[in-house]
């Protein structure tokens, strides 16, 4: 089993089940041209987010961690023209690439990009846009994942979903002594999810073009 094989299988799956249109391809190219790191989700992961959003008839989605807006476009397409996606990004340069990518994809009337550290932006969102979200996709700094999860629980309606990306990290989450803040954050997230009574959670490890990683998914079952 090798990275080469995992990537080839991903290519096979994406070519048949999650082909990218010109806007998604252009979003990735623009990110590369602007020097953004190649850490966006894959097309088949984007399609999974879209299917999850459709399955709960999501109209309002919060994303934490925009990068160049690749996942944002998948989420915007899931909510449709009458929907709303709020996405938060700490790096102004990333947010600018995302703004252009989202506009090129025709999703700018659906997507609001907020620029700044998400933990600074979330209290304002809760105050000024208090309507519950149907789904939250957490894909930013992993050290703060427990805080983002707490905010997501507060902002998501019962029946809504919270998805957290990169919760396996090549298996490094097994290292209880790791000083890496990302590992500490993700391990704490698992503890919180396992004891949280307002949501039921699981996590799935995955292999693919981005290596060995995984995502968690939580169904919110009770109001905050």
Q: Which residues bind ligand SAM (CB under 6 A)?
A: 39-41, 65-67, 70-71, 88-91, 94, 117-118, 139-141
3-state helix, strand, coil in the chain (%, to 5): 50, 25, 30
Pairing verdict, β 156-165 and 211-220: antiparallel
Nearer to ligand SAM, 88 or 193 (CB): 88
Query: What minimum distance in Å lies between the beta carbon of 47 and ligand SAM?
Result: 13
Burial of 9 (0-12, 13-18, 19+ CB in 10 A): middle
Q: Which of 66/201 has CB closer to ligand SAM? A: 66
The end-to-end CA distance of the chain, in Å, is 43
C-alpha of 46 from chain center: 9
Q: How far is CA 51 from CA 17, 76, 209, in A?
A: 12, 12, 20
Q: Measured from the CB atom, is 67 or 110 closer to ligand SAM?
A: 67
Task: For residue 66, give both structure tokens.
Answer: 């925009």
**Residue 41 or residue 183: which is nearer to ligand SAM going by CB?**
41
Mapping DSSP onto H, E and C, the string for 111-172 reads EEEEECCHHHHHHHHHHHCCCCEEEEEECCCHHHHHHHHHHHHHHEEEEEEEEEECCCHHHH
Smallest separation (angstroms) from ligand SAM to the CB of 94: 4
CA distance 115 to 66: 9
CB of 222 to ligand SAM, least distance (A): 27
Q: Which two tokens stand for residue 48?
A: 């999974």
Q: Which is nearer to ligand SAM, 65 or 208 (CB)?
A: 65
Q: How far is the CB of 116 from ligand SAM (least distance, A)?
A: 7
Q: Which is nearer to ligand SAM, 102 or 207 (CB)?
A: 102
């Amino acid at each position: 089993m090798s990275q080469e094989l995992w990537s080839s299988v991903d290519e096979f799956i994406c070519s048949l089940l999650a082909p990218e249109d010109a806007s998604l391809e252009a979003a990735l190219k623009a990110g590369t041209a602007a020097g953004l790191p190649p850490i966006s989700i894959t097309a088949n992961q984007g399609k999974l987010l879209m299917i999850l959003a459709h399955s709960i008839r999501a109209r309002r989605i919060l994303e934490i961690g925009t990068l160049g807006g690749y996942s944002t476009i998948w989420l915007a397409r899931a909510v449709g023209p009458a929907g709303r996606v709020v996405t938060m990004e700490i790096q102004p340069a990333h947010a600018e690439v995302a703004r252009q990518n989202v506009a090129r994809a025709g999703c700018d009337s659906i997507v609001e990009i907020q620029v700044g550290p998400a933990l600074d932006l979330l209290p304002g969102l809760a105050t000024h846009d208090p309507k519950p979200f149907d789904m939250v996709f957490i894909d930013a700094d992993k050290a703060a994942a427990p805080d983002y999860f707490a905010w997501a629980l507060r902002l998501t309606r019962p029946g809504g979903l919270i998805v957290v990306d990169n919760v396996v990290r090549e298996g490094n989450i097994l290292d209880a002594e790791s000083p890496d803040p990302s590992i500490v954050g993700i391990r704490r997230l698992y503890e919180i999810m396992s004891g949280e009574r307002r949501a039921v959670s699981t996590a799935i490890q995955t292999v693919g073009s981005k290596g060995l990683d995984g995502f968690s998914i939580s169904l919110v079952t009770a109001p905050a």
